[in-house]
């Protein structure tokens, strides 16, 4: 039974036709995948469906009847629940209130705190989340926040549930939990829309699929079982997609490490961290969310105090105080995992976003930065990374996620760093761009860059890393040479993560 | 509780108590005399209310530069209605209160409709209202209104707690309940905290902005009533000195300029501390210059010193990036 | 200077990547600055028709330009901190503080006009830097810090004035001060060509300030880094920008410009007194914000500040000339501002609509 | 700083005329009376401007208070009026230390300028004349009245406005002088300044003062408007036996005098200032007369009003105004 249908939807923004005749239909009791490259229009479609944007053309049908939503409130009342791609929690509110925000329970005109607590607990339990509903959301980790949002969408008990990249920042374990819930909803006869760039997940839980390309649906409602992974990718990309084929790359192990950590402890709680990275080597740092990998990287950059041990760069013990220090004196760069807030300046031009690290180098008398040398520099990186922009003066905030990530990376390449720490480079990035990023990272290493790759994406780790270092609870659990064999490696890594210290000792 | 112990409110409470004890000792206990306490509290009522009026708009990430002008205008209107037009006290007060509320509503509607920065809108309404206030009272001081109102303005519970102070506390209490425990209140704060998220959750930010400005106007209406009741008369200077204190109280009380924070208690406590400074000035016969100098120096000094502990958290939060914080602004 | 990226990677990243459709530039008339400028001109013409005296060079245009020049500098002082998303509530008091030192240097040390100005600028820079330092060190909101500083100075300044002077003002006028007040460009000649008598020489200070500030924000690393800091402190910090130092710089610039504005006020009213700068606060925000500078930081407009300031000054002057009494002056002032801005807003919306329709 | 003393005695060698001077032709004179801003003190000017126009058959006379207590704005108002053809200016300068520059500008453009109700700070007056209350003398009188009201003994406190204003400094000096003359019988608590900005501030300051020092204080002398209103009200409601001496004769204060809440007030002579000032300016601008000593300073008088003379003080004031005219006639040299 078709529960919900959107047909021939058109949505125009100043400067771009984001949706240009998209048709999508969701069946009761089935999970539908919505796929497409970055900027294809997936999120825009979801926003149109939930009444956030008014469509410039097309119709929405719920139970066969035409509907139009003036606001998210109306769509929610009509039974459509949604987890948006952006994180959308209210700081200063508790977990419970955030979950129940759409329909705060009241008794005698006042908000019923007990009801919030019990309701919230119910949905948190559904996701097997052990979080106190009275905790402020600001204290949550990224993954926890994501899961709370899912709980929030579930709490509406909607008949139609739209999930826009819900798994982008959670671990496979947590994702598995989510999928169990999705299965349950499906069995209840609800319709679920699932957006993800992780095709493994899509094939695991979805029944049917719609593929968007440049704002139009190129496949509308095909059964996923009849398609292969490659066919789906080809549809998204619009041509035959070649599998990633990385050239050989060898690390010269005789070279002295360019970055070495010896028994490092930090103010945030790391202890006894030993790590080495050689030029031309990709060291993968794996761990569950919250293991403390990003914090270790930030401590290295002087953003947090190092309390014990020593950090050696090119064999010299160093004390790095600021990012500027790291960049100028040690040629260390850091591509952050949080690109919206730390990676790009959303309200600034692409040119400035990339050039921010090189003004120091370009400046002439009195800090004058010649516009010409700047634009040339920027242009070359825009070209090399294939950043899709109309002009370098376009604001970074108007770019799709993938392009924002490229911008975030470009500034470190421009800075000519020799040690690059890359944190979760492909979160929310489509297959093709992801492959390109992988080629790029591989390539940077082949050219002699030392790379510390932090990722929670196991396939990515196994594709790229030369060695995999596993971290848990702010300590290094162990280190594995990478065989690039997925099945074998994934087992070893997972085992290492869950090894208790005693079993480690035994091993 | 642990959270409260670390909160701005707790700090303010401690500072306030220490300050008060200091003053009591300095005055040789005179400050505890009924009359002294009454005077202390009498002039707290209006500062508390104007602080709250500003806090409400700060909570949605807006500013209200027209606090003084709204209050002054409403007070002038009430005074003129009673003195020149013989309108009865309750009716005049009601009209004044409603006028203040309506101006607040208008502020909100203008911000929403025109999408002009609230700063500019309230600046414009401020200018207009200053004109209207002058037009209403000119350079006179209007005081020919019924004695009953003035009696109320000066009356105190047990001779210590002025009724106008009680009214201010009641307003503060109602506001706290409204912001903490009612749906419109929560929605208002949600809009302030993260407008995009609020919108995605089906909350109308526009409505929140309008509600906040209207509430602000209404609170100022109450402030105007208390002013008319307790001051020797109404003239064009009423409200002239409200703007800075209206910001100082909530911000010292812990409100964020970016919105999303409801700090009723903090605002009230901050108003107390500011009031203690006045009392100290009278007690020690200080020159106002010295008072200002000391207040400024103490605030700056405590800000510099008090950072030793917070500094580390501050640095961490720059780094750790709470994922939920999204820039303010009204969508 | 190319990045270490191989051809293959570059290709992989580029393959038939269709450029995202270029956002067509909004029509020129939708530009906020141009809109405001048109408004200023229209009002100028309107007032001129109603009162031909509006074009009196000596008595109207000259003081009008002197005012606009001064308040533009005041606006720039605020703009510097707005660029990093901060506020300077002590902008007026910083001017008073700097001028106090200038006054002392004239009164007690008999410095020349410009060396006294230099003393003031240094003092302004220093007090601004102090504010910035406290903010950067403590992370406390700039609003609170500058408000506290304002109180401190509000106390300090009268103490000094009442201690050092009989009349709470420094009345010593170094040579040249009187002239600066009244001289126009007509007194500046290159060969036989002289400037307009309607343009006060004081306006040159504003021109210099605009040029320097404009140059900093448009052309230098410092300006860019300030804007980046305003856009996102976290991202700036993580991109290697010394954000703490930038905060200090922005506030120091603000203090320096406040001092300059204070000097211009002192010159144009006649003496250096404790109350200099009391009326600076609101105009300091009004000019930049009307002109499009963001309160949240990350975008500034120097021209906008000038035009925004001009708008309010022209309205006020026009109302003055129309003989609008105090009963109505503020009412009209506020209404004109509201109506002007609403039409400006309507224009923007219309242009956006039109653009969407074109696609 | 005794103002009236500055006038040189009439000397046969300096004058061509003495005796009544009548304006021959005021039709070319457009008179502007410009107060510092809106204040009850200046309200009589508004009516007097019209009277001046009618009595002296002036081309025009206007009253403009839009300067709003800001020297820059006041200068703008003055310039705007000049641009519209006004050529005789009676000005209350917002900033006594700055106003000479404004006067100089106007003089340079050939306008007649009088400093009304306040004289420039320092020793020079760049206007043609200054006709103003001698603020120090007025404050002295007020303090004297207070001392008398409290019976010549006890502590008094002085409430006033903007501390960093030369007129305030003069007022403080005047009060101190009166107290010094009592040889320690009367003491003064620290002066409370800066409470004239708005009524609430004044009211708060008075209440705090009474709460902390109410028992010591015998009298309050105020030399600014809002503190005067607040003190009268505060003392009345606190029921303390404190004598309040106010300033000016706003309706609110006169009613206080009548009801006994205010012991005395020192009124000034705004009407006389505006009337005589207008007449003088017309004479000067029409070039009928010139000042013998440009910049001469004349005290327009201040009058202590108590319950006993509250109904008659205006007569005294009118007499003073007439006297002022005679005094100025001696200062003029006319054709
Ligand atoms: N508010 C907006 N204003 C202007 N353009 C927009 C807006 N929102 C989206 N776009 C543009 O619309 C297009 C579709 O964006 P959308 O976010 O829907 O892509 P997506 O498929 O969700 O991509 P991703 O996988 O990166 O999330 C993009 O080109 C984007 O730049
Ligand atoms: N379960 C949890 N409960 C409370 N706090 C947590 C939890 N998980 C993570 N955190 C917070 O996250 C911090 C570590 O996060 P960090 O970002 O360094 O980890 P990570 O390994 O990089 O993981 P991520 O994949 O999220 O980036 C911890 O210091 C803690 O404050
Ligand atoms: Mg998306
Ligand atoms: Mg991380």
Kindly identify which residue of chain D lies nearest to residue B43, measuring between CA atoms.
D204
Last residue of a domain, one of A210, A237, A264: A237
- Give the number of domains in chain A: 2
C/D interface, count of CB pairs below 8 Å: 112
- Give the number of domains in chain C: 1
Q: Is D190's CB within 8 Å of B232's CB?
A: no
- In this prediction, residue C7 carries a pLDDT of 58
pLDDT-derived band at D12 (thresholds 50, 70, 90) equals very low
- Determine what percent of chain D is predicted with pLDDT higher than 90: 71
Q: Which residue has the higher pLDDT, B2 or C191?
A: C191
- In this prediction, residue B143 carries a pLDDT of 87
Mean of the pLDDT values across residues B36-52?
94
Q: Is A295's CB within 8 Å of B324's CB?
A: no
Mean pLDDT for back-to-back runs of 10 residues, chain C (359 residues)? 49 46 52 84 94 91 95 98 94 96 94 96 98 89 88 92 85 88 85 85 96 95 95 92 95 98 94 91 89 87 95 92 88 86 74 65
Cα–Cα distance for residue pair D71/D94, rounded to 1 Å:
5
Left, alpha or beta for B33 (phi > 0: left; psi -120 to 50: alpha)? Answer: beta
- Looking at chain D from residue 233 to 262, which residues have their Cβ under 8 Å from any Cβ of chain B? 233-234, 237-238, 250-252
Atom of ligand 2 nearest to the CA of A296: 18
One DSSP character per residue, D171-206 reads HHHHHHHHHHTTTTSEEEPPPB-S--S-HHHHHHHH
Range scoring the smallest mean pLDDT among A321-325, C9-13, D23-27, D104-108:
C9-13
Cα–Cα distance for residue pair D118/D121, rounded to 1 Å:
9
Report how far ligand 1's centroid is from the alpha carbon of A225 (Å).
29
- Is there an interface between C and B (3+ Cβ pairs < 8 A)? yes
Report how far ligand 4's centroid is from the alpha carbon of A45 (Å).
29
**CATH code where residue A143 lies:** 3.40.50.300
Range scoring the smallest mean pLDDT among A237-241, B316-320, B322-326, C68-72:
B322-326
Q: Is D76's CB within 8 Å of C182's CB?
A: no
- pLDDT value at A293 more than 50: yes
Q: Is C330's CB within 8 Å of B127's CB?
A: yes
Task: Tell me, using a 6 A CB cutoff, whether residue A196 lines ligand 1.
Answer: no
Kindly identify which residue of chain C lies nearest to residue B125, measuring between CA atoms.
C334
- In this prediction, residue C356 carries a pLDDT of 63
Q: Which structure tokens are listed for A500?
A: 């208790």
β-pairing verdict for A282-287 and A467-472? parallel
C320 touches chain D (CB under 8 A): yes
Mean of the pLDDT values across residues A118-125?
92
- In this prediction, residue A502 carries a pLDDT of 47
Cα–Cα distance for residue pair D278/D58, rounded to 1 Å:
10
Query: C205 in a domain, yes or no?
Result: yes
Task: Tell me, using a 6 A CB cutoff, whether residue C356 lines ligand 1.
Answer: no
Query: pLDDT tens-digit profile of B201-241?
Result: 889 999 999 999 999 999 999 999 999 999 989 999 999 88
Chain B residues contacting D via beta carbons under 8 Å: 27, 30, 35-36, 39-40, 42-43, 46, 134, 138-141, 143, 154, 227, 231-241, 278-279, 281-283, 285-289
Query: A82 in a domain, yes or no?
Result: yes
pLDDT-derived band at B320 (thresholds 50, 70, 90) equals very low
Q: What are residue D304's phi and psi, to 5 degrees?
A: -80, 125
Query: A410 in a domain, yes or no?
Result: yes
- In this prediction, residue D315 carries a pLDDT of 93
Measured between alpha carbons, how far is residue A200 from residues A33, A186, A457, B60 in Å?
A: 12, 19, 12, 42
One DSSP character per residue, C151-189 reads HHHHHHHHHHHHHH-SSSEE----TTHHHHHH-BGGG-E
**Cβ(A419)–Cβ(A332) under 8 Å?**
yes
Q: Which ligand is nearest to the CA of A47?
A: 1
- In this prediction, residue D44 carries a pLDDT of 93
Task: Tell me, using a 6 A CB cutoff, whether residue A401 lines ligand 1.
Answer: yes
- In this prediction, residue D298 carries a pLDDT of 93
Around ion ligand 4, residues with a beta carbon closer than 5 Å are A 294, 337
B/C interface, count of CB pairs below 8 Å: 148
Q: Which residue has the higher pLDDT, D282 or B295?
A: D282
Mean of the pLDDT values across residues B60-81?
95
Mean of the pLDDT values across residues A106-125?
91
**Cβ(A396)–Cβ(A345) under 8 Å?**
yes
Query: A188 in a domain, yes or no?
Result: yes
Residue in C1, C12, C221 nearest the CB of A359: C221
Residue C121 structural domain: 2-18+64-311
Residue in B227, B287, B288 nearest the CB of D200: B227
Last residue of a domain, one of A204, A237, A270: A237
**Cβ(A76)–Cβ(B202) under 8 Å?**
yes
On chain B, the residues whose CB falls within 8 A of the CB of D244 are none
Shared domain for A47 and A166, answered yes or no, is yes
Cα–Cα distance for residue pair C57/A123, rounded to 1 Å:
74
Query: C306 in a domain, yes or no?
Result: yes
**Cβ(A31)–Cβ(A207) under 8 Å?**
yes
pLDDT-derived band at A239 (thresholds 50, 70, 90) equals low
Averaged pLDDT score across all residues of chain D: 89
- Is there an interface between B and D (3+ Cβ pairs < 8 A)? yes
pLDDT-derived band at A242 (thresholds 50, 70, 90) equals low
Atom of ligand 1 nearest to the CA of C21: 29
Shared domain for A206 and A97, answered yes or no, is yes
pLDDT-derived band at B331 (thresholds 50, 70, 90) equals very low
Range scoring the smallest mean pLDDT among A180-194, B61-75, B158-172, B307-321:
B307-321
- Determine what percent of chain B is predicted with pLDDT higher than 70: 89
- In this prediction, residue C120 carries a pLDDT of 97
D210 touches chain B (CB under 8 A): yes
Asked whether this complex has an ipTM greater than 0.90, the answer is no
Q: Is C20's CB within 8 Å of A399's CB?
A: yes
Q: Which residue has the higher pLDDT, D293 or B310?
A: D293
**CATH code where residue C82 lies:** 1.10.3470
- In this prediction, residue C23 carries a pLDDT of 46
Q: Whose CA is nearest to atom 26 of ligand 2?
A: A289
On chain C, the residues whose CB falls within 8 A of the CB of D190 are none
Task: Tell me, using a 6 A CB cutoff, whether residue A216 lines ligand 1.
Answer: no
C167 touches chain D (CB under 8 A): yes
pLDDT-derived band at B56 (thresholds 50, 70, 90) equals very high
Q: Is C327's CB within 8 Å of B135's CB?
A: yes
Cα–Cα distance for residue pair D313/A162, rounded to 1 Å:
86
Query: pLDDT tens-digit profile of A152-175?
Result: 888 888 889 999 988 877 777 788
Q: Which ligand is nearest to the CA of A404?
A: 1
D188 touches chain B (CB under 8 A): no
Beta bridge partners of A80: A160
Residue A390 structural domain: 338-416
Q: Is A268's CB within 8 Å of B316's CB?
A: yes
Query: C342 in a domain, yes or no?
Result: no
Q: Which ligand is nearest to the CA of A295?
A: 2
Q: Whose CA is nearest to atom 27 of ligand 1?
A: A38
Adjacency order of strands within the sheet including A65-67? A16-27, A2-13, A57-62, A65-67
pLDDT-derived band at A197 (thresholds 50, 70, 90) equals confident
- pLDDT value at B47 more than 90: yes
pTM: 0.88
Last residue of a domain, one of A217, A237, A257: A237
Residue A188 buriedness (CB in 10 A; 0-12 / 13-18 / 19+): exposed
Query: A142 in a domain, yes or no?
Result: yes
pLDDT-derived band at D156 (thresholds 50, 70, 90) equals very high
Compute the nearest-CA separation of B20 from chain D (Å).
15
**Cβ(D28)–Cβ(D286) under 8 Å?**
yes
Going from N- to C-terminal start, the domains of chain B cover: 35-315
pLDDT-derived band at A145 (thresholds 50, 70, 90) equals confident
Class of the CATH-defined domain B35-315: mainly alpha
pLDDT-derived band at B29 (thresholds 50, 70, 90) equals confident
Query: pLDDT tens-digit profile of C283-321?
Result: 999 899 888 888 888 999 999 999 999 999 999 999 989
- In this prediction, residue A15 carries a pLDDT of 67
pLDDT-derived band at B87 (thresholds 50, 70, 90) equals very high
pLDDT-derived band at A71 (thresholds 50, 70, 90) equals confident
On chain C, the residues whose CB falls within 8 A of the CB of B297 are 152
Ligand 2 lining (C-beta closer than 6 Å): A 141-143, 268, 287, 289-295, 337, 456
On chain A, the residues whose CB falls within 8 A of the CB of B319 are 295, 298, 303-304
One DSSP character per residue, B105-159 reads HHHHHHHHHH---HHHHHHHHHHHHHHHHHHHHTT--B--S-HHHHHHHH-EETT
pLDDT-derived band at B297 (thresholds 50, 70, 90) equals confident
Residue in B201, B320, B323 nearest the CB of A72: B201
């Amino acid at each position: 039974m078709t529960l919900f249908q959107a047909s021939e939807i058109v949505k125009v923004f100043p400067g771009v036709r984001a949706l240009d005749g998209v048709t999508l239909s969701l069946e009761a009791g089935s999970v539908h995948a919505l796929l497409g490259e970055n900027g294809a229009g997936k999120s825009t479609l979801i926003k149109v469906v939930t009444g956030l944007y008014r469509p410039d053309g097309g119709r929405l049908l719920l139970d066969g009847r035409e509907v139009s939503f003036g606001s998210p409130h109306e769509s929610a009342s009509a039974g459509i629940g949604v987890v948006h791609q952006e994180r959308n929690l209210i700081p200063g509110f508790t977990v419970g209130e955030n979950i129940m925000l759409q329909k705060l329970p009241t008794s005698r005109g006042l908000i019923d705190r007990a009801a919030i607590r019990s309701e919230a607990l119910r949905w948190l339990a559904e996701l097997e989340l052990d979080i106190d509903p009275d905790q402020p959301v600001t204290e949550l980790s990224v993954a926890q926040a994501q899961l709370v949002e899912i709980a929030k969408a579930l709490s509406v008990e909607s008949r139609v549930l739209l999930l826009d990249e819900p798994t982008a920042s959670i671990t496979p374990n947590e994702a598995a939990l989510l999928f169990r819930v999705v299965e349950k909803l499906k069995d209840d006869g609800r319709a679920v829309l699932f957006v993800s760039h992780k095709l493994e997940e899509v094939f695991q839980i979805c029944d049917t699929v719609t593929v968007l390309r440049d704002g139009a649906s190129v496949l509308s409602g095909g059964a996923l079982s009849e398609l292969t992974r490659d066919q789906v990718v080809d549809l998204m990309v619009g041509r035959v997609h070649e599998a990633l084929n990385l050239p050989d790359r060898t690390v010269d192990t005789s070279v002295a490490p360019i970055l070495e950590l010896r028994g490092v402890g930090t103010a945030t709680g790391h202890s006894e961290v030993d790590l080495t990275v050689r030029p031309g080597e990709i060291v993968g740092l794996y761990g569950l969310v919250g293991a403390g990998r990003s914090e270790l990287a930030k401590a290295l950059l002087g953003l947090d105090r190092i309390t014990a041990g020593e950090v050696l760069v090119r064999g010299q013990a160093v004390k790095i105080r600021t990012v500027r220090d790291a960049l100028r004196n040690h040629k260390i760069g850091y591509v952050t995992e949080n690109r919206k807030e730390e990676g790009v300046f959303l309200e600034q031009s692409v040119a400035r976003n990339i050039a921010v690290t090189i003004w120091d180098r370009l400046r002439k008398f009195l800090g004058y930065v010649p516009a010409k040398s700047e634009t040339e520099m920027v242009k070359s990186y825009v070209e090399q990374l294939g950043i899709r922009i109309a002009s370098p003066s376009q604001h970074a905030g108007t770019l799709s996620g993938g392009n924002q990530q490229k911008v975030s990376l470009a500034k470190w390449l421009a800075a000519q760093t020799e040690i690059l720490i890359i944190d979760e480079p492909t979160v929310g990035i489509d297959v093709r761009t992801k492959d390109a990023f992988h080629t790029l990272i591989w390539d940077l290493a082949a050219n002699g860059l030392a790379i510390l790759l932090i990722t929670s994406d196991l396939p990515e780790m196994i594709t790229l890393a030369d060695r995999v270092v596993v971290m848990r609870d702010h300590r290094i659990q162990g280190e594995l040479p990478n065989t690039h064999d997925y099945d074998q490696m994934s087992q070893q890594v997972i085992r290492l993560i869950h090894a208790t210290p005693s079993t480690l000792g035994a091993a | 509780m642990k959270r409260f112990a670390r909160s701005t409110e707790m700090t303010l409470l401690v500072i306030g108590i220490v300050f008060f004890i200091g003053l009591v000792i300095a005055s040789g206990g005179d400050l505890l005399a009924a009359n002294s306490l009454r005077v202390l509290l009498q002039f707290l009522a209006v500062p508390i209310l104007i602080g709250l009026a500003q806090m409400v708009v700060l909570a949605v990430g807006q500013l209200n530069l027209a606090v003084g002008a709204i209050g002054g205008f409403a007070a002038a209107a009430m005074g003129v209605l009673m003195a020149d037009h013989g309108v009865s006290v309750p009716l005049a007060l009601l009209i004044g209160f409603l006028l203040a509320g309506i101006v607040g509503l208008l502020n909100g509607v203008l911000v929403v409709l025109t999408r002009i920065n609230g700063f500019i809108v309230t600046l414009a309404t401020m200018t207009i209202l200053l004109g209207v206030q002058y037009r209403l009272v000119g350079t006179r001081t209007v005081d020919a209104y019924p004695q009953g109102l003035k009696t109320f303005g000066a009356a105190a519970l047990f001779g210590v707690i002025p009724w106008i102070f009680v009214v201010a506390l009641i307003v503060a209490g109602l506001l706290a309940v409204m912001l903490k425990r009612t749906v419109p209140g929560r929605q208002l704060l949600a809009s302030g905290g993260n407008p995009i998220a609020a919108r995605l959750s089906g909350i109308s930010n526009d409505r929140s902005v309008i509600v906040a400005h209207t509430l602000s106007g209404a609170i100022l209406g109450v402030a105007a009533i208390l002013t008319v009741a307790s001051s020797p008369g109404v003239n064009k200077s009423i409200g002239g000195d409200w703007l800075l204190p209206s910001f100082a109280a909530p911000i010292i009380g812990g409100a964020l300029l970016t919105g999303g924070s409801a700090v009723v208690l903090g605002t009230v406590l901050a108003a107390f501390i500011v009031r203690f400074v006045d009392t100290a000035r009278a007690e020690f016969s200080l020159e106002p210059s010295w008072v200002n100098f000391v207040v400024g120096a103490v605030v700056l000094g405590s800000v510099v010193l008090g950072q030793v502990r917070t500094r580390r958290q501050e640095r961490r939060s720059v780094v750790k990036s709470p994922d939920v914080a999204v820039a303010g602004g009204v969508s | 200077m190319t990045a270490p990226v191989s051809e293959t990677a570059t290709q992989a990243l580029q393959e038939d990547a269709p450029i995202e459709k270029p956002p067509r530039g909004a029509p020129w008339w939708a530009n906020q600055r141009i809109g405001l400028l048109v408004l200023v001109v229209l009002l100028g013409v309107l007032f001129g028709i109603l009162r031909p005296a509006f074009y009196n060079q000596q008595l109207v245009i000259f003081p009008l330009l002197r005012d606009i020049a001064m308040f533009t500098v005041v606006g720039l002082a605020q703009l510097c901190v707005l660029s990093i998303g901060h506020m300077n509530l002590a902008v007026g008091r910083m001017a008073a503080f700097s001028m106090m030192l200038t006054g002392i240097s004239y009164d007690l040390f008999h410095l020349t006009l410009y060396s006294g100005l230099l003393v003031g600028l240094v003092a302004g820079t220093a007090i601004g830097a102090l504010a910035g330092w406290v903010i950067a060190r403590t992370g406390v909101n700039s609003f609170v810090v500058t408000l506290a500083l304002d109180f401190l100075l509000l106390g300090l300044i009268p103490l000094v004035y009442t201690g050092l002077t009989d009349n709470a003002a420094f009345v010593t006028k170094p040579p040249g001060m009187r002239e600066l007040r009244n001289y126009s460009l007509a007194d500046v000649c290159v060969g036989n060509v002289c400037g307009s008598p309607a343009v006060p020489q004081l306006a040159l200070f504003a021109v210099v300030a605009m040029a320097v500030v404009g140059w900093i924000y448009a052309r230098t690393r410092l300006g860019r880094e300030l804007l980046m800091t305003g856009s996102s402190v976290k991202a700036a910090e993580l991109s290697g920008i010394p954000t703490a130092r930038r905060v200090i710089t922005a506030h120091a610039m603000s203090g320096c410009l406040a001092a300059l504005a204070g000097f211009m006020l002192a010159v144009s009213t006649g003496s250096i007194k404790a109350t200099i700068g009391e009326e600076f606060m609101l105009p300091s925000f009004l000019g930049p914000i009307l002109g499009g500078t963001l309160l949240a930081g990350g975008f500034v407009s120097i021209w906008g500040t000038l035009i925004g300031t001009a708008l309010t000054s022209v309205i006020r002057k026009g109302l003055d000339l129309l003989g609008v009494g105090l009963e109505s002056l503020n009412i009209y002032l506020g209404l004109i501002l509201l109506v002007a801005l609403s039409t400006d807003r309507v224009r923007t919306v219309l242009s956006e609509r039109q653009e969407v329709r074109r696609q | 700083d005794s103002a009236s003393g500055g006038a040189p005695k009439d000397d046969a060698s300096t004058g061509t005329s003495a005796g009544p001077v009548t304006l021959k032709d005021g039709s070319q004179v457009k008179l502007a009376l410009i107060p510092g801003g809106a204040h009850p003190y200046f309200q009589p000017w508004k009516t007097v401007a019209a009277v001046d126009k009618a009595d002296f058959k002036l081309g025009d006379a206007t009253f403009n208070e839009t300067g709003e207590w800001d020297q820059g704005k006041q200068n703008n108002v003055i310039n705007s009026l000049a641009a519209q053809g006004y050529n005789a200016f009676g000005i209350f300068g917002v900033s006594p230390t700055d106003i000479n520059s404004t006067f100089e500008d106007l003089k340079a453009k050939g306008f007649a300028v009088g400093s009304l109700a306040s004289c420039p700070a320092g020793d020079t007056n760049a206007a043609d004349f200054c006709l103003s209350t001698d603020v120090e003398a007025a404050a002295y009188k007020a303090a004297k009245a207070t001392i008398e009201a409290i019976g010549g003994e006890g502590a008094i406190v002085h409430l006033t406005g903007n501390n960093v204003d030369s007129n305030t400094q003069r007022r403080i000096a005047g009060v101190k002088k009166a107290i010094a003359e009592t040889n320690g019988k009367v003491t003064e608590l620290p002066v409370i300044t800066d409470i004239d900005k708005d009524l609430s501030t004044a009211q708060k300051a008075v209440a705090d003062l009474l709460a902390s020092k109410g028992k010591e204080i015998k009298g309050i002398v105020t030399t600014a408007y809002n503190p005067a209103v607040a003190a009268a009200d505060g003392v009345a409601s606190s029921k303390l036996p404190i004598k309040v001496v106010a300033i000016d004769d706003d309706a609110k204060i006169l009613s206080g005098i009548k009801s006994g809440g205010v012991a005395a007030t020192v009124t000034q002579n705004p009407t006389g200032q505006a009337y005589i000032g207008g007449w003088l300016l017309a004479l000067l601008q029409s070039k009928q007369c010139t000042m013998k000593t440009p910049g001469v300073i004349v005290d327009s008088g201040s009058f202590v009003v108590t319950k006993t003379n509250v109904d008659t003080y205006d007569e005294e004031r009118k007499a003073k105004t007439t006297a002022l005219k005679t005094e100025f006639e001696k200062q003029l040299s006319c054709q």
